Each structure stands twice: as structure tokens, then as C-alpha cells.
């Protein structure tokens, strides 16, 4: 029963202490000697533990959080994931003057530099853009879902898609398609659904609306998610499952998800199945479109992205493969699917908390409607329920300011990522090594006093207005739409879409959060900042007399 010194470990110590206390029939002297040696080791162990704990905790001031041997900053990250990771990140960044180095466990891929300093963000997104690509880590993680689409590529493959899509996004034909499809969705689908339901999950309704809308733009097909019975559409479900399963890869060591993928286990199994669903839908649409195009003399009749890219050729004069066409469309759907709808959800939540903002938006809308030559009469507007015209939507400056203020506080893409291609130094002095990852924390930027002043956490649309006119801000302070060469391509469309939907709802309803059942509104950890439990609301219809009050 004599253990050798080399075999000591904590379990053995505990076992020995308990055995020496309770077995009285064994020789006393050796046991006591042994007990003393054991106590010394235990003391040494406790001293080491105290030292490591104090040392790790002392790092908090210097590095923003404790740094543990082997685990690095992982324990803090795990506890943040369980509460609100974005708020935690903001607090750490504030304490570290805008930039810190996250140290993951040994041998993990979690090490990165995190920043919310506008000087660094401009350096990343514009000044030194060529040496900060999306990079191989992002590409590999997202490849199964996004393939070689615009979101997941750098250099020529990205440039080519960007150029073509950019021309299209700014064409009159495309603008007509987007405004017509939006008009139809809002008036024939959204408003009837709202009319029929008092209590709803507004986030779910808005997600359905923007999914249908972006599928019309990308594929030229309406999947019909926003229909009276709110059906589950297999393509939409497959898309949602695929993005959720892909996100899991970012918080897992690479070898783990790769092993799971090869064994077809857990989230990787789900990912494989959901991608099959996405691909099946895309293949069918592409097949049908090819058939239609061979029958149609004028392919230019259809302004959706799929048709446009089908009519183009690559550098070698070859038509794009079906797989590449699929990638292009899937990437656009990801870009435009839920960014506007989650922004609108946070917007409705914020204006309920700030009723004076809601009043001003309503007054602004009615003032614009009063200017109509043909229907200046307020009563007529109230009776036939107005359809907003594009030029009226563009005049809604206060609404635009309230939407920007929402995105400042709740950016749809809360954090974004780059990889370092060459050793470099940030304007704030942080040194970067080739191959390192950089996270720019867009959510935290909205909470920096150094950028927005002492009232940075307040919802104040006025900060976007000068003499009643909307004034945009630097993309490196307000980074909700990214900046530099990779500025969001759908920015103008997204603002138009959000203003159109917000105005159509606010004019008819007061949106009131249903907090009776303890409904909690908090962000979910995902690529896009969804509300974790949706937005359960009561839609309270405005009476004609209530609307009339705003016309005076």
C-alpha cells in the first residue's frame, strides 16, 4: 500500500488521507511520515493554485480578463456566451481603450485581436484593405454553405461578382423590381396577415417577408413564406438550419468539426442534410430558368440576379457552372434574408420604449402625405389607407434617422472578421502577425463614449439630423453596413425596404410588446443579431380619429 512519490496525484492524495484516517490496524509511524509528506505536497499544490489564480486575475487589469494556464481566456468567454456576449465584449473593449488580444486555449484556433477603434477599423476596411482579406479560416468554415459566392471569396472571384452585382443593384430595372416586389409583399401579404392577427411574433413575420423579398431578387422566385397560414417552407427551413449549423463551427476547434463531418455526426450531420435541401431548391430553379430562357427570346425581361449571371461569361468566355450560379444566389439570400428584418424588430422594440420617437415618426409621415397634390385631404388618406410612393419614402428623414440609430445600437451584423496577410501595425500601436485573425466589434462601437459621447447608450435619432435633414456618418464609426471596397451592396435597398415596411406598419398600428408572459427581449449569438425569443407583440390598430390627430 506504499505509493511511490512519482505516482502522487490529487486523487491518490485524497484516497490516502481518507485511508490513513480510517484504518486503525496499520503501523502508525510510516503512516504519519507519509501523511506529513502528503500534507506538504498538498500545501505546495494549494500555494501553486493561489499563485496561478492571483497571477491570472491580475491579468484582468492589463488584458481585460483573467488569463489561465492552458485555458487562456476561455473561461471568461464561456460565461459570456451564457449571458450576453456582445455586452461583455463592449465592457472589455471599453476597459482596454478599444483593442485587446483574446488568448484562447493552447493549440486552439481562438486567438485573435479584437478592436472597436474607428482608426483601426478604417485601416482594416479601407487603408490596408488588400492585406486584410476574409481569409482561409473563414472560407474553410463557410465553404460548404457559401461555396465561392461573394461573401466567401477574396480577390478576382469576389471582384467579378461585386462588379456585376453592383451595376445591377444601381440599375433602373433592378430598382423597379425591388420596389414592385416590396409593394406587393407589403400590401397583399404583410398587411392582411397583420390585420388577421392581434398577437404575433413580429420578428418571425418580418423574417418571412424579407426572405420572400430577397428570393425574388436573387432567384426571381417567390417561396411564399409570408402567407396567411404562415407555412413552413422546406427551402427556408433548410437555409435556416444550414446557417445555424455553420455558426457552430466558429466556436469549435477545427479538427473537432472536421472529424464530426467525416463521421457524419451532430451539427455536421444536420448541416449536410440542410445543404442538400438548399441545393435541391437551387438546382430546380436553375433548371427551370434555363428551360424558360431557351424559350424566351428576350432574356433581359427578367431582372433577377440568377438570370443576369446566367447571361454572362467568365474570363475564359465560358458560361458559369450551375454550382457557381447556386453560390451567387445563396450568398445574396444570406446577405439580404434577415439583416433588414432583425433591424426592424429592434426598431419596433426601441420605439415602444421611446414613445416620443414614435410620435415624431408618425407626424413626419402625415406631413409628407399632406403634401400630396391630389390627396392633400387628410380624411381621404385615412379612409383609403395610403400606399406610399417611392419619392415619399425617400423624404422620411426622421424615420431614416431612427433606423440608423437602431442599427448603431443593434447592428444586424454585430461582429465581423478579417485575416492578416502581412505583419502590420494598427494606428493605435497594436502589432499584428501574419495569419492572425482580427475581429471588429460593431456592437461595441455603438457603446463607445469616445465615438458617440456620454449619451451613447441612449436612443436618439436626433444625432443623425441637421436642420431636420438626415446626415450620414463615417462608415468607420457607424460600421453597420461595413465600409471601404466591401461596403454592403444592399445598403440603399435595405434602407428603402425598412422605411417602407416601418411606415406602412406605424401608420396603421401601435406595436406593443406582449410582456405579460414574461417575454424577454435579448440578442441571440448568431451571425445576425436575432432576438433570441422573437418579438411577441400585440398589434393595436389606430383609429381614424387617432390618425386625424397627427394631421393637425
Residues that bind ligand HEM (CB under 6 A): 150-151, 162, 214, 217, 332, 335-336, 339-340, 343, 407, 412-413, 416, 480-482, 486, 488-490, 493-494
The residue to which cell 415619399 is assigned: 392
Residue 186 CB, shortest distance to ligand HEM, in Å, is 15
Closest CA to 527 of 457, 442, 401: 442
Q: 488 labelled as ligand-binding?
A: yes
Residue with Cβ nearer ligand HEM (342 or 369): 342
Residue with Cβ nearer ligand HEM (112 or 494): 494
β-pairing, 437-441 with 465-466? unpaired
Residue 503 CB, shortest distance to ligand HEM, in Å, is 16
Closest CA to 510 of 532, 484, 540: 540
The residue to which cell 436553375 is assigned: 286
| Cell numbers that stand for 218 in this block | 436573387
| Phi, psi of 532, deg, nearest 5 | -55, -40
What single-letter DSSP state applies at residue 21?
H
Residue with Cβ nearer ligand HEM (241 or 419): 419
Phi-psi label, residue 482: left if phi above 0, alpha if psi -120 to 50, beta otherwise:
left
3-state secondary structure 411-471: CCCCEEEEECCCCEECCCCCEECCCCEEEEEHHHHCCCHHHHCCCCCCCCHHHHEECCEEC
Cα 200 to Cα 519: distance, rounded to the nearest angstrom? 12
Residue 201 CB, shortest distance to ligand HEM, in Å, is 19
Residue 158 CB, shortest distance to ligand HEM, in Å, is 6
Cα 290 to Cα 283: distance, rounded to the nearest angstrom? 11
Cα 204 to Cα 185: distance, rounded to the nearest angstrom? 15
Cα 379 to Cα 96: distance, rounded to the nearest angstrom? 57
Residue with Cβ nearer ligand HEM (116 or 480): 480
Residue with Cβ nearer ligand HEM (245 or 488): 488
Residue with Cβ nearer ligand HEM (368 or 488): 488
Residue 336 CB, shortest distance to ligand HEM, in Å, is 3
β-pairing, 112-115 with 437-441? parallel
Q: Are 144 and 323 in contact (CB under 8 A)?
A: no
Residue with Cβ nearer ligand HEM (76 or 90): 90
Residue 264 CB, shortest distance to ligand HEM, in Å, is 29
| Cell numbers that stand for 104 in this block | 484562447
CA atoms within 13 A on the CB side of 290: 11
Residue 383 CB, shortest distance to ligand HEM, in Å, is 33
Residue nearest to ligand HEM (CB): 490
Residue with Cβ nearer ligand HEM (105 or 483): 483
Residue with Cβ nearer ligand HEM (399 or 547): 399
Residue 512 CB, shortest distance to ligand HEM, in Å, is 23
Residue 189 CB, shortest distance to ligand HEM, in Å, is 18
Q: Which residues contact 42 (CB under 8 A, 6 or more apart)?
A: 13
Residues in the chain: 552
| Cell numbers that stand for 283 in this block | 438546382
Residue with Cβ nearer ligand HEM (8 or 129): 129
| Cell numbers that stand for 434 in this block | 501574419
Give kind and range of the element (H or E) at residue 538. Answer: strand 536-541
- For the four alpha carbons of 88, 89, 92 and 97, in that order, the dihedral sign comes to negative
Residue 508 CB, shortest distance to ligand HEM, in Å, is 22
Q: Residues marked as binding for heme?
A: 488
- Residues making up the annotated binding site are 488
Amino acid at each position: 500500500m506504499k505509493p511511490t512519490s512519482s505516482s502522487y496525484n490529487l486523487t491518490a492524495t485524497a484516497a490516502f488521507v481518507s485511508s490513513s484516517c480510517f484504518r486503525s490496524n496499520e503501523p502508525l509511524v510510516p503512516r504519519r511520515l507519509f501523511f506529513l509528506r502528503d500534507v506538504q505536497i498538498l500545501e505546495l499544490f494549494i500555494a501553486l493554485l493561489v499563485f496561478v489564480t492571483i497571477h491570472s486575475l491580475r491579468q484582468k487589469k492589463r488584458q481585460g480578463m483573467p488569463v489561465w494556464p492552458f485555458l487562456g481566456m476561455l473561461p471568461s468567454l464561456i460565461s459570456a456566451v451564457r449571458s450576453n456576449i456582445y455586452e461583455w465584449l463592449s465592457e472589455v473593449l471599453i476597459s482596454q481603450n478599444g483593442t485587446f488580444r483574446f488568448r484562447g486555449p493552447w493549440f486552439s484556433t481562438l486567438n485573435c485581436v479584437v478592436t472597436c477603434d474607428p482608426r483601426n477599423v478604417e485601416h482594416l476596411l479601407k487603408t490596408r484593405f488588400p492585406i486584410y482579406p476574409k481569409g482561409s479560416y473563414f472560407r474553410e468554415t463557410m465553404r460548404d454553405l457559401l461555396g465561392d459566392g461573394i461573401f466567401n471569396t477574396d480577390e478576382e472571384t469576389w471582384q467579378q461578382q461585386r462588379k456585376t452585382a453592383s451595376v445591377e443593384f444601381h440599375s433602373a430595372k433592378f430598382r423597379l423590381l425591388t420596389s414592385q416586389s416590396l409593394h406587393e409583399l407589403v400590401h397583399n401579404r404583410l398587411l392582411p396577415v397583420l390585420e388577421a392577427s392581434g398577437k404575433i411574433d413580429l420578428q418571425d413575420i418580418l423574417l418571412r417577408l424579407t426572405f420572400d423579398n430577397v428570393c425574388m431578387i436573387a432567384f426571381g422566385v417567390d417561396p411564399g413564406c409570408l402567407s396567411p397560414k404562415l407555412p413552413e417552407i422546406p427551402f427556408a427551413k433548410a437555409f435556416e438550419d444550414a446557417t445555424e449549423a455553420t455558426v457552430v463551427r466558429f466556436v469549435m476547434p477545427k479538427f473537432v468539426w472536421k472529424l464530426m463531418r467525416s463521421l457524419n455526426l451532430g451539427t455536421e450531420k444536420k448541416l449536410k442534410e440542410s445543404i442538400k435541401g438548399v441545393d435541391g431548391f437551387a438546382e430546380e430553379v436553375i433548371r427551370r430558368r434555363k428551360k424558360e430562357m431557351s424559350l424566351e427570346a428576350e432574356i433581359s425581361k427578367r431582372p433577377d440576379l440568377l438570370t443576369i449571371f446566367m447571361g454572362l461569361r467568365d474570363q475564359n468566355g465560358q458560361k458559369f457552372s450551375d454550382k457557381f450560379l447556386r453560390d451567387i444566389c445563396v450568398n445574396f439570400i444570406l446577405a439580404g434574408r434577415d439583416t433588414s428584418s432583425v433591424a426592424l424588430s429592434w426598431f419596433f422594440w426601441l420605439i415602444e420604449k421611446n414613445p416620443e420617437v414614435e410620435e415624431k415618426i408618425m407626424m413626419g409621415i402625415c406631413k409628407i402625405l399632406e403634401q400630396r397634390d391630389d390627396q392633400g385631404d387628410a380624411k381621404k388618406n385615412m379612409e383609403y389607407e395610403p400606399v406610399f410612393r417611392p419619392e415619399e419614402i425617400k423624404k422620411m428623414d426622421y424615420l431614416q434617422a431612427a433606423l440608423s440609430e437602431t442599427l448603431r445600437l443593434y447592428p444586424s451584423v454585430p461582429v465581423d472578421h478579417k485575416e492578416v496577410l502581412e505583419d502590420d501595425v494598427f494606428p493605435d500601436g497594436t502589432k499584428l502577425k501574419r495569419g492572425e485573425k482580427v475581429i471588429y466589434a460593431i456592437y461595441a462601437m455603438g457603446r463607445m463614449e469616445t465615438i458617440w459621447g456620454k449619451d451613447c447608450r441612449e436612443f436618439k435619432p436626433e444625432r443623425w439630423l441637421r436642420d431636420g435633414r438626415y446626415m450620414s456618418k463615417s462608415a468607420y464609426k457607424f460600421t453597420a453596413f461595413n465600409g471601404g471596397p466591401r461596403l454592403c451592396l444592399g445598403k440603399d435597398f435595405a434602407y428603402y425596404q425598412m422605411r417602407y415596411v416601418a411606415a406602412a406598419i406605424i401608420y396603421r398600428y401601435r406595436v406593443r410588446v406582449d410582456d405579460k408572459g414574461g417575454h424577454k427581449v435579448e440578442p441571440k449569438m448568431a451571425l445576425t443579431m436575432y432576438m433570441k425569443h422573437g418579438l411577441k407583440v400585440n398589434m393595436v390598430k389606430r383609429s381614424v380619429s387617432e390618425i386625424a390627430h397627427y394631421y393637425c
